Amino acid sequence: MSVLKSEIVFYANGSGSEVWQQLANRAPGEGLACPLCGRVFQHKNNFLKHYKTHTGEKPFACIYCSFRTIQKVNLKTHMRNIHNVF
Protein backbone atom coordinates (compact mmCIF):
# COMPACT_ATOMS: atom_id res chain seq x y z
CA MET A 1 0.00 0.00 0.00
CA SER A 2 1.35 3.40 -0.95
CA VAL A 3 1.15 6.23 1.55
CA LEU A 4 1.76 9.91 0.93
CA LYS A 5 4.42 11.66 3.01
CA SER A 6 1.75 14.11 4.12
CA GLU A 7 -0.09 11.20 5.76
CA ILE A 8 2.81 10.46 8.10
CA VAL A 9 2.81 14.11 9.15
CA PHE A 10 -0.87 13.71 10.01
CA TYR A 11 -0.06 10.76 12.25
CA ALA A 12 3.06 12.34 13.74
CA ASN A 13 1.75 15.81 14.52
CA GLY A 14 -0.68 14.72 17.24
CA SER A 15 -3.55 16.84 15.94
CA GLY A 16 -6.32 14.53 17.11
CA SER A 17 -5.41 11.72 14.74
CA GLU A 18 -6.81 8.27 15.42
CA VAL A 19 -3.30 6.99 16.17
CA TRP A 20 -2.59 9.45 18.95
CA GLN A 21 -6.11 9.03 20.32
CA GLN A 22 -5.47 5.30 20.38
CA LEU A 23 -2.13 5.90 22.11
CA ALA A 24 -3.67 8.18 24.75
CA ASN A 25 -6.64 5.90 25.43
CA ARG A 26 -4.83 2.57 25.55
CA ALA A 27 -4.70 0.58 28.77
CA PRO A 28 -1.33 -0.19 30.41
CA GLY A 29 0.39 -2.94 28.44
CA GLU A 30 -1.90 -2.47 25.43
CA GLY A 31 -0.12 -1.82 22.13
CA LEU A 32 -0.55 0.76 19.38
CA ALA A 33 -1.73 -0.78 16.09
CA CYS A 34 -0.55 0.52 12.73
CA PRO A 35 -3.66 1.64 10.82
CA LEU A 36 -2.18 0.41 7.54
CA CYS A 37 -1.03 -3.13 8.36
CA GLY A 38 -2.21 -3.84 11.89
CA ARG A 39 1.23 -4.45 13.40
CA VAL A 40 1.19 -3.59 17.11
CA PHE A 41 3.81 -1.50 18.93
CA GLN A 42 4.29 -0.75 22.61
CA HIS A 43 6.20 2.52 22.05
CA LYS A 44 5.40 5.58 19.94
CA ASN A 45 8.95 5.85 18.53
CA ASN A 46 8.90 2.25 17.32
CA PHE A 47 5.59 2.95 15.61
CA LEU A 48 7.00 6.05 13.87
CA LYS A 49 10.04 4.12 12.60
CA HIS A 50 7.73 1.38 11.33
CA TYR A 51 5.34 3.83 9.68
CA LYS A 52 8.16 5.16 7.49
CA THR A 53 8.33 1.73 5.86
CA HIS A 54 4.87 2.43 4.41
CA THR A 55 5.85 5.85 3.04
CA GLY A 56 9.20 4.87 1.56
CA GLU A 57 10.68 7.90 3.30
CA LYS A 58 14.42 7.60 3.94
CA PRO A 59 15.49 10.89 5.51
CA PHE A 60 19.09 9.92 6.36
CA ALA A 61 21.45 10.13 3.36
CA CYS A 62 25.13 9.29 3.00
CA ILE A 63 27.25 12.25 1.91
CA TYR A 64 29.67 9.95 0.05
CA CYS A 65 27.30 7.77 -2.00
CA SER A 66 23.60 7.29 -2.80
CA PHE A 67 22.80 5.19 0.30
CA ARG A 68 19.67 6.33 2.17
CA THR A 69 18.00 4.86 5.24
CA ILE A 70 15.07 5.25 7.62
CA GLN A 71 17.15 5.30 10.80
CA LYS A 72 20.20 7.36 11.72
CA VAL A 73 21.87 4.35 13.37
CA ASN A 74 21.84 2.51 10.02
CA LEU A 75 23.55 5.48 8.35
CA LYS A 76 26.24 5.52 11.05
CA THR A 77 26.84 1.78 10.55
CA HIS A 78 27.06 2.29 6.79
CA MET A 79 29.51 5.19 7.16
CA ARG A 80 31.71 3.17 9.51
CA ASN A 81 31.67 -0.08 7.50
CA ILE A 82 31.75 1.26 3.93
CA HIS A 83 33.54 4.61 4.16
CA ASN A 84 35.63 4.08 7.36
CA VAL A 85 34.17 7.24 8.90
CA PHE A 86 33.30 7.67 12.62
The full 3-state SS of the chain, as one line of letters, equals CCCCHHHHHHHHCCCCCHHHHHHHHCCCCCCEECCCCCCEECCHHHHHHHHHHHHCCCCEECCCCCCEECCHHHHHHHHHHHHCCC
| pLDDT tens-place string over residues 18-68 | 665 665 666 777 788 888 898 988 888 888 888 888 888 899 999 999 999
Give residue 32's pLDDT.
81
List of domains in the chain: 5-55 (3.30.160), 57-86 (3.30.160)
Q: Is residue 12 over pLDDT 50?
A: no
Which residue has better confidence, 9 or 27?
A: 27
The pLDDT of residue 47:
84
Q: What is the pLDDT of residue 43?
A: 84
- Higher-scoring residue by pLDDT: 27, 12: 27
